[in-house]
Amino acid sequence: EGLILPLALKSFYSKDISMSFAASQAIKELGSISRDCLPGIMQNILMSIENVMRPHEVQNSLSLTSVLLKPILELDEGFDFLGQVMQIAVNGIDANDPTKTLYALRFFTALFMEVPLLDPKDISHISEKPEFLYVLNDLCTAILQRFEELFRNVPDLKKGNPFRSHMKDVLRRFFVSFFHQMSDALYSHCLSLITRQFSSSIFPTAKQIVGHLLSSLVHANATKSVNHLIPAILKKVITSDGEQIQSPASEAAYFMHLLGHIVSNAGSAVLIHVDQITAVLDVALFHEKSEIQREARKLLRKLLRGLLGVLPRDFSVLPPSKRSNMQKLTAQDIRKPTPSFQDMEIDFLTPNSDCQKKSREILEKYFLLSETAFKSNDAASIRAAFGCIDAMIRGGAQIFPMPRAKPEFQAQESSLQEGVECDDEDDTDYNLASRWGSFVLDDPEWGRGFREKLGLLLIESCKVHANVSNPDVPTIKALLKMVSSYLASNGVWTKYETLKSSASYHKAVNRSWFQGKESAYSRPLLVWRSYALMGKRLDMGVFEANGVVSDLLKHLSSMCVHDFSMVRKKAQKVLPKVIRRFPYLHVQCLTQVLSTLSDANSSKGALKGVIFTVQTNQAMKKIVRNWSLSKFLLNGLLGSHQYDEIKIQVRLSQLWSTYVKHWFALPFGGLKHSDSLMTDVDVTSAFSQEMVKKLFESGRNSSTYRAKKSQETYEGLVQLMKFQLDGSSGTSSSSVHWRYVVLATSSLILLSMRQDCTPDLKVVEYVIHGLNSDILPLRQLCRAVLFNFSLIYSVNRAKDCMETEGSTADTGIEGADNQLNPQNFEMPIDQEFEGPFSDEPWQASETKKQELWSNSAVMDLIDSLLSQSDWFKSVVEKISNDHRLSGDERAQTQSSNAPSMPAASVAVRSLVASRWFWPRTSAAPLSKDFNLDNMFAIEYLMLTAGPDASLNALPAIEELAGKVDDRENQCAAAEILAGVIRASNHWQNVQGTQIRQKLGSILKETLSRAAPDTVGDWCEMIRFSTSNRDPRRFNWLSRIVGSLCAANNDSALYLVKGLKLQQCLLMEFGWKGLPVARILNETSRRLIGNSSKLVREECGRSLLQISRGFSGTGEVRMTDQTIVLGKIIPDFELVDWITEDMTRLYNLYFSNRPTEGSQQLMELKNQIEGVIYYFMHSCRLGYSTSVKKYLVQAISLFLIIQEDSDREFAKVGQIALELIARTLRDRQTAAAVLGRVEELLSSSQSWRVRAGTVDFIRELGHSHVLEVDIKNKAFELLHRLISDPVVEVRISASQSLASILRAFSEEKVTYLLSLAPKPKRRGAKMQKEMSESERSAALVTRHAKVLGVSSAIISSPTDLPAWMPDAVCTLCLLHDEDPIIRNSITRTLADFRKSHEDMWETIRMTWNEEQFRLVTENAGTLSYYS
């Protein structure tokens, strides 16, 4: 409590939402566990609610009160506290501040879920009543008045308005909890107020909210409220003679809307008013005003639902047994009314016989009226009749329900999926009582007859109106809405999910961890949850199909491909709801829709309708699980080549992309089970062996049948695609639209990747030809997927020349445990190693491959193509040209790290890539333009063709690589050469050696002439070529790269290029690349003092990479060795020469510094700067452990150069010092570094060096704030530095001391305050004359004491500790000081005023008069620029 609560309360009132939420959760759990902290929390809440100057604190306080209601109510003073909060929170209901209104309503809702609203007169027998009960009458009146004001100012409920969504839900929950908790006296009082307020005034923009208020009011006490409200509302709707609607029409429509809300929850209480309401419907249903018709349809629907609905009896916190007998309530019932789970007494109101009889009369009456209107030729009357029928179905379908499906409908669905016809006949009755619980239909036969009669009427209407030739779009839309209601509606209220989520929300808010799970729900929430589950049970179910349903679904499906977009959108919107009710008719519906796709006479509108109908998750899931539907879709896509419009082809590509995502989401089978599984598993012994055998046999037959259908469909589609695309993938593809070519190629590739199909080798040939296509997206797609065929085909030319994959244990290395270490790979790079090699296993290499060693067709094809120099040269040129994208395309490529291509190929490319674990490298990419697809495509070609054919392809590659001035050509050359190198790793014969020799000559010439802007691409080439491979394979490549920095007189850019390439080589070799590390180490040591800053920086990076891989620093030690990656690696000290160099450089700079401005001094500074870059890169990249053993010596060098007159040079050392201080984590090294800094402070005569140590000590203290010895040593050094003779050092030390003081207790602050100087006495006698040095020393001492007090004051910028008044007043009393001291005092007091401005009123109230006067006079006044 003493540690968590103050911090949580301080964080809770933050303006940051995430911090406030986290703090509220901590306070909530703390309050649930410990009741002792609640009084302090309650006092803090009251203070914050009354603080009108900080509105966010008011909102957070109300939120906190809501979550702590249960613990607060258990306290004796809890009711009085809540009474105060309630009176203040009423003012939070404000239309001008939706957020504050939201928090206030949440508080009231949570409160009324726990406390009954009782009038003292109702519980007169209880002597000790909570005081707040006596103000409830006035409180309820005030709340209703605030709502009246709120409703008058609610803006239009348009999209984006906070009242539209979340606020409406909160208001609905509030109304339910508010009215249901009232006793009879309070309810009667509120009912009279509401009747006067809302029956005489209109609130057009808030009519939905007013309707929710009235429906909740009626539900709380239907008998009493209906007799008050309905007569008053009817007078506003219809004239006294019952013949006409009151004018104006807008006002009548408003009150008709309220009337609908009133009757929706009235139940049987509305029976006495039904005749009056039907009189309104007779006039309004076919009224000439559309707004009157719309509200009349809603009224009809809600009247039927009110008569037939299943509603909770009440939402009261008191169970019915206690609520009905108030005289037996006790004081404990008021303070903790929530009963146990077993005593909740939840009951539901169900429609009685009178309600069902009256509903049947209403349905028959308005069915006849609608049937008569259907026969007229007036479109408005027909639409009104459609709306009337729709309202009847949605409101009254409970008494004429759709027949439930048979339990065996799943078998029918299975047969329908495979195209087998089934019997639709249904003579099986269903048990209504088991379906509806206590709701039993009086006359089921009437319901069957009425639904049949209604269905026939709908079919006749569809034949007349649901056709393409009908231009009356509004009528068709009304018809579709009516048909969807008939097919999908159960006639129940469908907002049960909202209720369920509301209950879950309140459960999370009100959970009490102290009392356990049962206390998580109060009774209203449990009733709410039960009501939600009841609604879901009433609405659930799958319906039985018959001839009427089938005909209606055909008409609905045909409207999905209507030429008019508004009709299509309406049909597509309602179709998923219908399919969910009839899941076994999806084949019929989707087949009808997909047949339009392959119809050559289909219009563009119809095609768009097909695409948007099936491009949904529900439709796609059904299509991919049914091969007949998949075949319809693919045939339709392949039959769309006659459409040459870009928009159509783009839509088809998007459809294909959606299909691909769902297709790959399917599992591709599983493990093969043994035949004895059914007898091996213990769990099967509890079942009949015949039953278990039957189930296993059924699953096996299903899998076999699916594989058979898969193969048949695949073969047919492949033949169809190859026939239609014959020649279109070549250089001449003008016969069909290019987007269609890409789409069809994607189809071929995706089908070939299916694991349940035997691939067609012709597809591979087709893709290979696509590499030379004139269509850019097709080329990109073929390159992306070509290498994936190696998962399917292990195409192997000249198997005897292929290297067998070696393992770690098969390396020929001698030793007890055959462990690998860098010494095993240390061999001169001028020698060639012939094996065995130790390559890292490639994860994808474990994938089961289909061994097709005799696949000579693909090999012969690639041989013939590569033998044609023009073909491969054309492929290479196209790869190069594809890098020359426009500006927009290049931007898209760089942002997505993938080539720009249409949607049809993007989906296939991404999903194909996800199936294959490409070799990953150990660092981030150095070039976004390097395309892996091109590299892997070339690797596949070369690997399949073999070494002889690969030699024939090298001239074209050499020509491309020779164009060093063209960046795009260089990038393409890097990708192609990487593919060739990767393929050559498999050839250890004579041809393989010849290829590597040729590659070496090409790379040596190209890398030596490569432009600086292409270095990133060549680095990627080296990394991907050598990834996860034995470094001894690449001695030939190491020689080439190592020779790039052989001479010192090369240009800076040339040297940087060589260092970068060597770094990439070592990056992939890792600890195995000891020979390369030695070369790079010698090169870096030689070039670390180069005159170019770029070269010096690269040398620093190189040394860091060597230290990380071979120094062993910071790793777990085993005697004299280090454990790295599970392998024992000796500690190779390759960079130990840095110690000798730093000693030499320190002595030269400190003792024998060359003449200022001389060439020798410039060379010395370059060498020092190169060493600094080594440490900077190590710390910046988070590898300070690699250099920690050099830090003590390095600190001396970095600090001593701070006195240099070249401030840019000194700045480099300062940056290195800050990075070391922030990243050094080793406590022993940090202590040693601080000891070295202390020695330098004692010996250095340069104030710049001492100023540099101030920043370093501060940052090091922050980094080791939990290390007591280091923290104390930092405080000691900084306190010493505030007495420095130089004023700049003193001020900097004071500011650093203030920042580190926050990590100490008040003891350090008290110590600084005890050293505060006394004010000078006026009129005192002059002391004896002092020398100038003595006066200067006295001034420094006095200034240091003032700075110590300033540090203490500045260290607390957001709070007021007990010592703060004395500290501030100590500075205020220092008058007649020297200007230096006075400036420090003025600056400190001004900073105090600015940082504590928001607490100035607190200072005025808590400080005494003298203290406040002093700080006010000396701190000055704030201005805009202060």
pLDDT over threshold 80, residue 1168: yes
SS3 per-residue string spanning 1382-1408: HHHHHHHHHHHHHHCHHHHHHHHHHCC
User: How far is Cα 973 from Cα 546, in angstroms, rounded to an integer?
Assistant: 67
Give the pLDDT confidence score for residue 684 in this predicted structure: 52
Q: Read off the pLDDT band of 1072 (50, 70, 90).
A: confident
- 142 is written with which tokens? 């005030």
Q: How many CB atoms lie within 10 A of CB 1125?
A: 9
pLDDT over threshold 50, residue 1124: no
Give the pLDDT confidence score for residue 879 in this predicted structure: 87
User: How far is Cα 697 from Cα 969, in angstroms, rounded to an integer?
Assistant: 60
Give the pLDDT confidence score for residue 790 in this predicted structure: 60
List CB contacts of 1425: < 8 A, sequence separation 6 or more.
none
Q: Read off the pLDDT band of 164 (50, 70, 90).
A: low
Query: What pTM value is reported for the model?
Result: 0.65
pLDDT digits (tens, 9 = 90+) for 1323-1365: 544 555 677 888 888 889 999 999 999 999 998 887 788 899 9
Give the pLDDT confidence score for residue 387 in this predicted structure: 92
Of residues 1302 and 1000, more confidence is placed in: 1000
pLDDT over threshold 70, residue 160: no
pLDDT over threshold 50, residue 5: yes
Return the DSSP state at 919: P
Residue 301, burial from CB neighbour count under 10 angstroms (0-12, 13-18, 19+): buried
User: How far is Cα 1080 from Cα 1064, in angstroms, rounded to an integer?
Assistant: 11
DSSP 457-488: HHHHHHHHHSSTT---HHHHHHHHHHHHHHHH
pLDDT over threshold 70, residue 1381: yes
Give the pLDDT confidence score for residue 191 in this predicted structure: 92
Whose CA is closest to 772, among 883, 909, 876, 881? 876
Quickly list H helices, 808-946. Answer: 856-867, 869-882, 887-896, 903-914, 932-945
List CB contacts of 1034: < 8 A, sequence separation 6 or more.
1025, 1026, 1065
Whose CA is closest to 653, among 743, 775, 715? 743
Q: Read off the pLDDT band of 880 (50, 70, 90).
A: confident
Chain CA centroid to CA 396, Å: 43
Of residues 1198 and 809, more confidence is placed in: 1198
Give the pLDDT confidence score for residue 754 in this predicted structure: 60
Q: What is the arithmetic mean of pLDDT over 846-869?
A: 60
- Alpha-carbon dihedral sign for residues 23, 29, 33, 38: positive
Whose CA is closest to 1074, among 1026, 1045, 1038? 1038
pLDDT over threshold 90, residue 333: no
Whose CA is closest to 1229, among 1173, 1176, 1191? 1191
Give the pLDDT confidence score for residue 1205 in this predicted structure: 80
Q: Give the total residue count for the chain.
A: 1426
SS3 per-residue string spanning 305-363: HHHHCCEECCCCCCCHHHHCCHHHCCHHHHHCCCCCHHHCCCCEECCCHHHHHHHHHHH
Give the pLDDT confidence score for residue 846 in this predicted structure: 35
Give the pLDDT confidence score for residue 367 in this predicted structure: 93
Q: Read off the pLDDT band of 606 (50, 70, 90).
A: confident
Whose CA is closest to 506, among 99, 170, 165, 27? 170
Give the pLDDT confidence score for residue 270 in this predicted structure: 92
User: How far is Cα 348 from Cα 994, in angstroms, rounded to an integer?
Assistant: 89
> Which residue, chain included where needed, has tokens 């004491």?
1345
List CB contacts of 229: < 8 A, sequence separation 6 or more.
195, 199, 214, 217, 218, 262
* End-to-end Cα separation, the chain, in angstroms: 39
User: How far is Cα 459 from Cα 464, in angstroms, rounded to an integer?
Assistant: 9
Q: Read off the pLDDT band of 849 (50, 70, 90).
A: very low
Q: Is the peptide bond before 836 cis (omega within 30 degrees of 0)?
A: yes
pLDDT digits (tens, 9 = 90+) for 696-726: 777 777 777 767 776 776 676 666 666 555 5
List CB contacts of 18: < 8 A, sequence separation 6 or more.
none
Q: How many CB atoms lie within 10 A of CB 1188?
A: 24
User: How far is Cα 736 from Cα 742, in angstroms, rounded to an integer?
Assistant: 11
Query: 222 with 214: CB under 8 angstroms?
Result: no
Return the DSSP state at 164: T
User: How far is Cα 783 from Cα 770, in angstroms, rounded to an integer?
Assistant: 8
Q: How many CB atoms lie within 10 A of CB 1291?
A: 21
Residue 1052, strand partner residues: none
Give the pLDDT confidence score for residue 804 in this predicted structure: 39
User: How far is Cα 547 from Cα 425, in angstroms, rounded to an integer?
Assistant: 9
Q: What is the arithmetic mean of pLDDT over 577-592?
A: 87
> Which residue, chain included where needed, has tokens 């939706």?
98
Query: 345 with 526: CB under 8 angstroms?
Result: no
Cα→Cα distances 689→477, 702, 1034, Å: 56, 20, 62
Give the pLDDT confidence score for residue 446 in this predicted structure: 93
Chain CA centroid to CA 1347, Å: 49
Half-sphere exposure of 914 (CA within 13 A, CB side): 10
> In the chain, what percentage of residues exceed pLDDT 90?
18
Cα→Cα distances 1295→31, 1074, 1418, Å: 40, 48, 21
pLDDT over threshold 50, residue 515: no
Give the pLDDT confidence score for residue 437 in this predicted structure: 45
pLDDT over threshold 70, residue 1423: no
User: How far is Cα 769 from Cα 750, in angstroms, rounded to an integer?
Assistant: 17
- 209 is written with which tokens? 């909210």
Query: 1255 with 1296: CB under 8 angstroms?
Result: yes
- 326 is written with which tokens? 């108030």
Q: Read off the pLDDT band of 674 (50, 70, 90).
A: low
Query: 1132 with 1186: CB under 8 angstroms?
Result: no
User: How far is Cα 896 from Cα 900, in angstroms, rounded to an integer?
Assistant: 9
List CB contacts of 557: < 8 A, sequence separation 6 or more.
571, 575, 589, 592, 593
User: How far is Cα 20 from Cα 13, in angstroms, rounded to an integer?
Assistant: 6
Query: 633 with 594: CB under 8 angstroms?
Result: yes
Residue 349, strand partner residues: 311
Give the pLDDT confidence score for residue 1356 in this predicted structure: 86
- 1110 is written with which tokens? 């071979």
User: How far is Cα 664 from Cα 660, in angstroms, rounded to an integer?
Assistant: 6
User: How far is Cα 1323 from Cα 1321, in angstroms, rounded to an integer?
Assistant: 6
Query: 1150 with 1164: CB under 8 angstroms?
Result: no
Whose CA is closest to 1005, among 968, 962, 1043? 962
Query: 909 with 781: CB under 8 angstroms?
Result: yes
Give the pLDDT confidence score for residue 867 in this predicted structure: 77
Q: How many CB atoms lie within 10 A of CB 733?
A: 18
Q: Read off the pLDDT band of 402 (50, 70, 90).
A: confident
Q: What is the arithmetic mean of pLDDT over 315-335?
A: 71
- 407 is written with which tokens? 């339990």
Give the pLDDT confidence score for residue 339 in this predicted structure: 61
Q: Is the peptide bond before 248 cis (omega within 30 degrees of 0)?
A: yes
Q: What is the arithmetic mean of pLDDT over 434-446?
A: 68
Return the DSSP state at 405: P
